[in-house]
Amino acid sequence: MVNSMEFEPKFEKPSERERKEVEREKRERVEGVNRDDEKYEEYWKNYGKESTVQRIMDDIVSLNRDAAHLYETTERKQEARLNHVIWIYNNPEKLIPVYKAISQQEWKDLTDKPEVIEKVGKLLIESYNSAINFYNWRDKPKGFVIEGSKNFGMQAGNIAGVRISYQEITPLIKAIETKDQEETEIQKKYIAASIVHELTHQEREDGLVSFVKTEIASHIVQFIFNPRDNEIFNKQIEYSLNRIAERRNSEEAKEQKPIHLLYDKARYIALLIIANELTQHNEEYHDILQNDKDSHKLMALRKLQENISPENEKYLKSDVLQKIIQTNNDELVTNLIEIEELLGIQRSIIEIE
């Protein structure tokens, strides 16, 4: 079990973005579209501009029709938007090759609780709305496909939308089933930031195969999206920093603690780049980073979140966000090396195996 981070943030005042987000969510309304509504049939019928896209979507929907849900987002003075959530529970002999079906038992447990399925769908679309409103993305997926694959959590997806593994949203399902509102909100914030992560990959055309350098920008943007209130992501960061501390100093840790070093390195690099940016606008944190005696500045990086003021957050979103999305992967690695040299880090994180 991962322990919660015991941060006591110095800055309780909500940022301008947080206030705007709350106001937008108040104006926005997400509702399910009934299957007998003509909008439901029209959406699927006219989904793809290309015949191949339409044919694939026709196959997905025909096999999982009772699990193909449509949602409508309405907001004052704006045109209503339709988005889908499809649960892949039926894919005989992998007729649709890219997807693995949710297990029969898992799907049976869910179909006994249709209100949970509906609630999960609405929360996914609400998270999606937060993510697409965060940045002017070139391409916006039309919805989600939830599937039974266990080798990933979320992917930017394909023509049918963002791919989410069933296991990735299991905590959300459990929170809804138990009516745990606090945990539901925690999961919703994490999912929204994860969608931002995947949209960043898509925006930058990173491809589907992950390397350290292709995961740096997406983790930076995921952090910037909600730097002070993303409990699950912040636990992942803390876990990564702890594993790096163990791995750099212990041969035994390398042998006994198999870790996903690629993501640990990417999260560390993302934090170090953000920390370097923050020092230009936060004198107190500048001193924390400079005076940290740890060989990789881990203590200072653990204090990054709690030292981001609303003004700092505004700077990250207004200036750093755009710069990071437009910086290619090799340049980000070069930036890392320059920062390590500036801070006197002798052994680059890239060298840790």
Q: Any idea what the Cα angle at residue 320 is, between residues 316 and 321, rounded to 5°?
A: 90
Burial (CB < 10 A; 0-12, 13-18, 19+), residue 113, is: middle
Task: Give pTM, 2 decimals.
Answer: 0.89
- The alpha carbon of residue 218 and the mean position of all alpha carbons in its chain are separated, in whole angstroms, by 9
User: What does the pLDDT look like over 257-281, one tens digit per residue?
Assistant: 444 788 999 999 999 999 999 999 9
Strand order across the beta sheet in which 29-32 lies: 29-32, 68-75, 78-87, 143-147, 161-165, 154-158
What distances in angstroms separate CA 267 from CA 79, 81, 236, one per listed residue?
38, 34, 9
Q: What is the pLDDT of residues 21-75, one digit of tens each?
A: 555 555 688 999 999 999 999 999 999 878 888 999 999 999 999 999 999 999 8
Q: How far is CA 138 from CA 96, 201, 270, in A?
A: 27, 12, 23
Q: Which amino acid is at 198?
A: E
Question: For the chain, where are the alpha helices, taking DSSP H only?
Answer: 16-27, 38-45, 51-63, 104-111, 114-132, 166-177, 181-204, 212-225, 231-249, 251-256, 261-279, 283-291, 298-302, 310-315, 321-326, 329-343
Judging by beta carbons within 10 Å of its beta carbon (0-12, 13-18, 19+), is residue 224 exposed, middle or buried?
buried
Q: What is the mean pLDDT of the segment spanning 311-336?
A: 95
According to the model, what pLDDT value does residue 73 have? 94
Whether the CB-CB separation of 142 and 85 falls below 8 Å is answered with: no
Cα distances (angstroms) measured from residue 7 to each of 95, 187, 281: 48, 19, 21
Calculate mean pLDDT across residues 279-293.
95
Tens digits of residue pLDDT in 151-184: 889 998 778 999 999 999 999 999 999 999 999 9
- Average per-residue pLDDT in the chain? 88
